[in-house]
């Protein structure tokens, strides 16, 4: 049990957990307290504790809720009324606090560490966790154990190249450089998880495989972000949809950012080679949640097709977000990291890089924490930072490497969510994750940015977090009926941008704001998804948010009036829901030294005008993308990383 929270705090947390979702709460409260203490910035944690104290104070409740009763002594109805008051408050801080506790306790309410497979909450949904068989041949990545530490706890290694982070970008660079005969060390902050140890339960998957245990959000709590954080990074947990970078995006990168390598036949050849390495193929199983997209689009005359994905001949289990126990997915541990490992790259898990060592403008290696007081120093003349767009700027900044644009221009592909209710069972947690997509609105127009419509495969915890909470009974009823929900998401090309920065406590802070075009895009996408769901036969529809925006066809409600409501959706923080699983742009590549922290070949620039270089230092991940793409970015990131790998070889 965490020790930041007092007994009194824990009593209020218990009351909150009970108010959000019914059922035994001890495990949920312990997990919540432990997770908050482990991943939340100390300042934010202090704010969240203040909220607990305010909720438990007679005086504060008299002022805030008109009742001189501590939250823990209120009736269930009164507690609910207090929370709904916070949900709809005009004060942003109260909405933020509500959002933080709502997400935590609805997630843990259904991804409960204490829940058995026959738990009534899961039985009501008809949810059974998958238990696919582990293959006889496990992923062929050998873990490398650093040598014994010296008396001060330091282990030391030598290499030609250190790659920081083992995700989409880091994996490709490690494979390519080790294939070229370089001695490569890959340092990954997260654990190594192969098929035999892959989690089966949602709660364990989030704790082991996701950045900040899946509790990641913007500083104001309004945007929920998911990113992978184990060996394989995002590739281990992602949904495998493989789409090439749209041509108009590449033309913009060439003309506005000076990236010549992204245009011309060389790019297509690069993507084709990567697709072959990942065994990308068209999805052959179309589960009900994706049939919704194909059916609705056919009715409307819109574009839609089966997706291409990096797994073959599977589609019955749907655990791809928990890794892939069958080993069918061509994630890093099956593809590029396996190649790197076969070519003698040393892959060290649970090694968090704290500093890039730079002496007189020349890279000399990195330092990493291995846990339990152990540290690792790797001497290398080349360092490629590929810690993902949310962490790469922090690794560089903590090393004293400064550039005015480092951490800026964060793009997140903001995602709005709509769910249609269908007569048939959809069971969104089962089957190929994103088997179909519609590119009907993928081009940017004068009044909005481009977006792709896809499905979202929610398991109960994520689903409970995403659906509107309009009271405990209403949420439980919605969850109990959720097997009939067909979820739609729109991956939008950002209208707006954000920033990654370090807090005083040294933690990473994320901020993001939609701009006018971003809001117009999100509203447009909500309307399109509602039309698609209706055309596919949905009898009722909800656009997720606080509160949700509902249409009930069976009650004779006007659909066109609903569309007008969606066109006016409030996207101020913590109103309509916004999600992100794609993060890009925080160390972007380009020709202008002032606004691009990396040159067009991935070399890191420094200094107030960006006109100095650090010899031997490169970035190799999604941070490099100069803008958002509006489509799933894995293939693009890998192609950018391959380009950086070539630069490293040419420079050496
Ligand atoms: C749930 C989910 C679904 C997705 N679905 C799709 C999809 O269907 N199609 C698609 O194209 N894309 C998808 N994506 C996005 C895609 O997976 C990511 O954009 C991609 O993996 C990002 O690659 P990257 O190299 O930039 O970073 P990542 O893959 O995130 O890798 C960064 C790695 O660096 C590690 N790291 C961080 N800090 C340090 C440090 N200090 N020291 C050492 N290591 C560190 C992290 O633990 C992580 O493993 C999805 C992502 C998620 C989370
Ligand atoms: S559906 Fe996903 S988790 Fe299941 S075998 Fe296929 S890739 Fe793996």
Distance CA 471, CA 84 (A): 7
CB 434 within 8 A of CB 455: yes
pLDDT < 50 stretches in the chain: 1-2
Q: What pLDDT is stored for residue 327 in this prediction?
A: 92
Question: Is 350's C-beta closer than 6 angstroms to any atom of ligand 1?
Answer: no
Question: Is 329's C-beta closer than 6 angstroms to any atom of ligand 2?
Answer: yes
The alpha helices in 126-264, defined as continuous H runs, are 168-179, 202-209, 234-237, 247-257
Question: Is 226's C-beta closer than 6 angstroms to any atom of ligand 1?
Answer: yes
Structure tokens at 626: 């100069």
The residue behind tokens 């073959």 is 312
Q: What pLDDT is stored for residue 84 in this prediction?
A: 95
Mutation to probe ligand 2, out of 195, 283, 324 (largest number of atoms < 8 A from CB): 324
Question: Is 311's C-beta closer than 6 angstroms to any atom of ligand 2?
Answer: yes
The number of the ligand nearest the C-alpha atom of 192 reads: 1
Question: Is 352's C-beta closer than 6 angstroms to any atom of ligand 1?
Answer: yes
Distance CA 409, CA 394 (A): 14
Closest CA to 380 of 192, 230, 177, 189: 177
The number of the ligand nearest the C-alpha atom of 434 reads: 1
Closest CA to 398 of 368, 375, 373, 364: 368
Distance CA 483, CA 467 (A): 13
Written as one string, the DSSP assignment of 353-419 is EEEEEEETTEEEEEEEEEETTEEEEEE-SEEEE-S-TTTHHHHHHHTT---TTTT-SBB---B-EEE
Q: What atom of ligand 1 comes closest to residue 633's alpha carbon?
A: 11
Cα three-residue angle 184-188-189, rounded to 5 degrees: 155
Q: Boundaries of CATH 3.50.50.60 in the chain?
A: 155-218+228-238+243-277+331-403+589-651
Question: Is 617's C-beta closer than 6 angstroms to any atom of ligand 1?
Answer: no
Q: What pLDDT is stored for residue 33 in this prediction?
A: 95
**Can you name the CATH fold of 155-218+228-238+243-277+331-403+589-651?**
FAD/NAD(P)-binding domain (3.50.50)
Known catalytic membership, residue 582:
yes
Q: What pLDDT is stored for residue 57 in this prediction?
A: 87
Mutation to probe ligand 1, out of 228, 306, 580 (largest number of atoms < 8 A from CB): 228
The number of beta carbons lying within 10 Å of the beta carbon of residue 480 is: 14
Each residue of 78-118: pLDDT tens digit? Answer: 999 999 999 999 999 999 999 999 999 999 999 988 888 78
Q: What pLDDT is stored for residue 1 in this prediction?
A: 46
Active-site residue, selected from the candidate residues 403, 475, 524, 582: 582
Residue 359 C-alpha from the chain's centroid: 35
Each residue of 571-615: pLDDT tens digit? Answer: 999 999 999 999 999 999 999 999 999 999 999 999 999 999 999
Q: Whole-angstrom distance between the N-terminal and C-terminal Cα of the chain? A: 50
How far is the centre of ligand 2, averaged over its atoms, from the C-alpha of 129 (Å)?
A: 13
Mutation to probe ligand 2, out of 238, 317, 327 (largest number of atoms < 8 A from CB): 317
């Amino acid at each position: 049990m965490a020790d930041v929270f007092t007994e009194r705090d824990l009593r209020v947390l218990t009351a909150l957990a009970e108010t959000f979702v019914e059922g035994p709460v001890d495990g949920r409260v312990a997990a919540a307290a432990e997770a908050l203490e482990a991943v939340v910035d100390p300042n934010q944690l202090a704010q969240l504790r203040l909220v607990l104290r305010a909720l438990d104070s007679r005086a504060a409740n008299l002022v805030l809720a008109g009742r001189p009763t501590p939250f823990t002594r209120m009736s269930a109805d009164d507690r609910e009324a207090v929370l709904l008051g916070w949900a709809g408050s005009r004060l942003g801080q109260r909405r933020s606090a509500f959002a933080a506790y709502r997400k935590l306790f609805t997630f843990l309410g259904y991804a409960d560490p204490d829940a058995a497979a026959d738990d009534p909450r899961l039985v009501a949904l008809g949810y059974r966790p998958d238990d696919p068989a582990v293959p006889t041949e496990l992923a062929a990545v050998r873990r490398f154990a650093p040598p014994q530490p010296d008396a001060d706890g330091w282990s030391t290694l030598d290499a030609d190249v250190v790659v920081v982070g083992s995700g989409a970008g880091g994996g490709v660079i490690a494979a390519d450089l080790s294939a070229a005969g370089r001695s490569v060390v890959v340092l990954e902050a997260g654990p190594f998880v192969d098929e035999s140890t892959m989690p089966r339960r949602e709660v364990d998957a989030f704790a082991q495989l996701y950045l900040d245990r899946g509790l990641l959000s913007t500083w104001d709590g309004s945007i929920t972000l998911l990113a992978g954080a184990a060996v394989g990074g995002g590739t281990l947990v992602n949904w495998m949809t493989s789409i090439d970078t749209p041509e108009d995006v590449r033309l913009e990168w060439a003309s506005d950012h000076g990236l010549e390598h992204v245009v011309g036949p060389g790019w297509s050849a690069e993507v084709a080679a990567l697709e072959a390495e990942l065994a990308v193929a068209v999805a052959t199983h179309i589960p009900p949640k994706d049939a919704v997209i194909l059916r609705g689009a056919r009715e409307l005359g819109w574009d839609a097709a089966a997706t291409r994905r990096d797994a073959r001949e599977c589609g019955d289990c749907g655990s791809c977000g928990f890794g892939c126990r069958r080993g069918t997915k061509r994630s890093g541990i099956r593809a590029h990291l396996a190649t790197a490992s076969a070519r003698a790259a040393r892959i060290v898990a649970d090694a968090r890089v704290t500093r890039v060592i730079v002496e007189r403008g020349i890279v000399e290696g990195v330092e990493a924490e291995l846990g339990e007081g152990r540290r690792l120093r790797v001497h290398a003349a080349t360092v490629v930072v590929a810690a993902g767009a949310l962490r790469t700027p922090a690794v560089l900044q903590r090393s004293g490497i400064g550039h005015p644009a480092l951490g800026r221009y964060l793009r997140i592909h903001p995602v709005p969510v709509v769910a249609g209710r269908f007569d048939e069972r959809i069971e969104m947690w089962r089957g190929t994750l994103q088997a179909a997509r519609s590119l009907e609105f993928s081009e940017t127009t004068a009044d909005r940015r481009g977006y792709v419509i896809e499905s979202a495969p929610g398991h109960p915890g994520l689903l409970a977090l995403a659906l509107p909470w309009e009271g405990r009974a209403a949420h439980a009823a919605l969850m109990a009926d959720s097997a009939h929900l067909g979820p739609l998401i729109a991956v939008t090309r950002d209208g707006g941008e954000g920033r990654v920065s370090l807090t005083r406590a040294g933690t990473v802070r994320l901020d993001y704001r939609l701009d006018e075009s971003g809001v117009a895009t999100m509203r447009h996408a909500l309307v399109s998804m509602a039309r698609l769901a209706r055309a596919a036969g949905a009898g009722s529809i909800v656009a997720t948010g606080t509160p949700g925006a509902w249409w009930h066809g069976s009650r004779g409600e006007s659909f066109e009036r609903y569309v007008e409501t969606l066109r006016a959706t409030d996207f101020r923080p913590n109103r309509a829901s916004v999600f992100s699983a794609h993060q890009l742009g925080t160390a972007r590549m380009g020709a202008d030294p002032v606004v691009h922290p990396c040159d067009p070949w991935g070399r890191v620039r420094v200094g107030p005008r960006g006109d100095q270089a650090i010899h031997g230092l490169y970035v190799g991940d999604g941070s490099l993308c100069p803008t958002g793409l509006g489509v799933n970015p894995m293939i693009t990131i890998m192609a950018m990383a391959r380009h950086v790998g070539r630069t490293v070889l040419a420079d050496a």
